[in-house]
Amino acid sequence: MTRILADLRGFQNQYNKLHSDIFGLSLIRVILIALCIMFTAFHLLLFLQQNKIIMDIFYGTWPWYVSGFLIGSVMLLLIYFGKTFGMSSNLRTMCTILGAGKTSDFFRFDWKAQRWNLAVVLGAMLGGFIAVTYLSDPTVPTVVLNPTTVTEVQQMHIDAPDGKLMPDALSSAEALKSPKVLAILLIGGLLVGFGTRYAGGCTSGHAITGLSNLQLPSLIAVIGFFIGGLLMSWILLPLILK
Amino acid sequence: MKFIKYLLVGLLFGIVLTKSEAVSWYRIYEMFHFQSFHMFGIIGTAVVVGVIGLQIFKISNLKDIDGQPIILADKEKGFTRYLVGGLLFGLGWGLVGTCPGPIFILIGAGFWGIGVVLIGALVGTYLYGLLKNKLPH
């Protein structure tokens, strides 16, 4: 009898502890609750979408404020997990795995400490697959651009998007047979790989994380991104694609 | 499985970047030509959410998931590497329309041709590793 009473008291103590924690609303719990709400909202959306109620909103282009909020949350989540958001670091890790450490000190580091980031990459690839396979519908218009943009890219022999994320002119099986297209993709990749490592980060590391942490170097890097991008997009791209 | 949470964060990232079309070559072109607010809105909102979130983390002395204090290292001081490196990356971004995240996401989404961009990016990263000590930083 006494043992049962003691058990009950222990249970009550645990219950009280849990209770005070919830109403003490420590920040971690607030975040967890917020995540639960987001999770529920996501499933609600999925349900509504399956029942073709708000299919158009869900299958169409997600608005910038929803997307921006979620990307900011991804960064904060990774920081809460004790890591930092940076996608281009994975390129270095991959070089190390491929054996680049034999020829350069830069690649001699413990790549296993970066496995979490490779998990993010794998998740992102799966996310891309899920988004195009299950969260898209050909009848819902996507990639609806400014009509001026469409006219401009067509003048450079780039097909209109028509719901596609990438132009056929750069990514279709047909286009990939062209040495010129292959060269564009390879050189573009080369600049991205070299530039991000030289600058120490890309859009995720500098533009999102660095600017959020009010880092001057990141602001300089982002200004660099834009000078490069403007130069390419306005002057070089029309010459290259002509 | 301790990597599952990272996989899930990546999953969210991949879905959001695809559904917001931030992975699209067209959206990047549109952004660099100031013909739409979309991309600026995405990056701007993410930064605003980030600034507010990090300030809350700091003020509340939030510990990370392992109970360690959250410390974000400052970026190394410098100018040349950030401007020149940033500029080179910008040239690539404007040309193929993919920063490193979208390279992986697009391959996952079935755009195999972007594998060529990935090869280029790996070669570019390797070249940086070889030339690192000769470059001004």
Give residue-wise pLDDT tens across range A61-80: 999 999 999 999 999 999 99
Q: What is the ipTM of this complex?
A: 0.96
Residues in chain B: 137
Q: How far is B40 from chain A (nearest CA, A)?
A: 8
Residue of B nearest to A147 (CA): B35
Q: Is the Cβ pair B88, A91 closer than 8 Å?
A: no
Taking residues A113-126, report their average pLDDT: 97
Provide the shortest C-alpha distance from residue A112 to chain B (in Å). 12
Q: What is the mean pLDDT of residues A133-150?
A: 91
CA atoms within 13 A on the CB side of A220: 17
Looking at residue A33, what is its pLDDT?
A: 81
Residue A229 host element (H or E)? helix A216-230
To the nearest 10°, the Cα dihedral for B86, B88, B89, B93? 130
Q: What is the pLDDT of residue A94?
A: 97
Q: Does B26 touch chain A (CB under 8 A)?
A: yes
- Evaluate whether A227 touches B69 at the Cβ level (below 8 Å): no
Instruction: Quickly state the pLDDT bin for A14 (edges 50, 70, 90).
Output: low
| Residue A20: pLDDT over 60 | no
| B46 lies within 8 A of chain A by CB | yes
Taking only the tens place, the pLDDT of each residue in A191-200 is 999 999 999 9
Q: What is the largest CA-CA distance in chain A?
A: 90
Give tens-digit pLDDT for A201-236.
999 999 999 999 999 999 999 999 999 999 999 999
Dist CA B93 CA A180 (whole Å): 18
The pLDDT confidence band at residue A125, using thresholds 50, 70 and 90, is very high
Question: Is A65 in the B-facing interface, judged by CB distances under 8 Å?
Answer: yes
Question: pLDDT tens across B44-79, in order?
Answer: 999 999 999 999 999 998 899 888 999 888 999 999
A24 touching chain B per CB within 8 A: no
What pTM value is reported for the model?
A: 0.86
Residue A22's pLDDT is what? 47
Residue A138 above 50 pLDDT?
Answer: yes
**Over pLDDT 90: what percentage of chain B?**
89
pLDDT confidence of residue A46: 74
pLDDT value for A18 = 53
A237, A64, A74, A62: which is closest to A167 by C-alpha?
A237
pLDDT for position A51:
67
Q: What is the pLDDT of residue A30?
A: 75
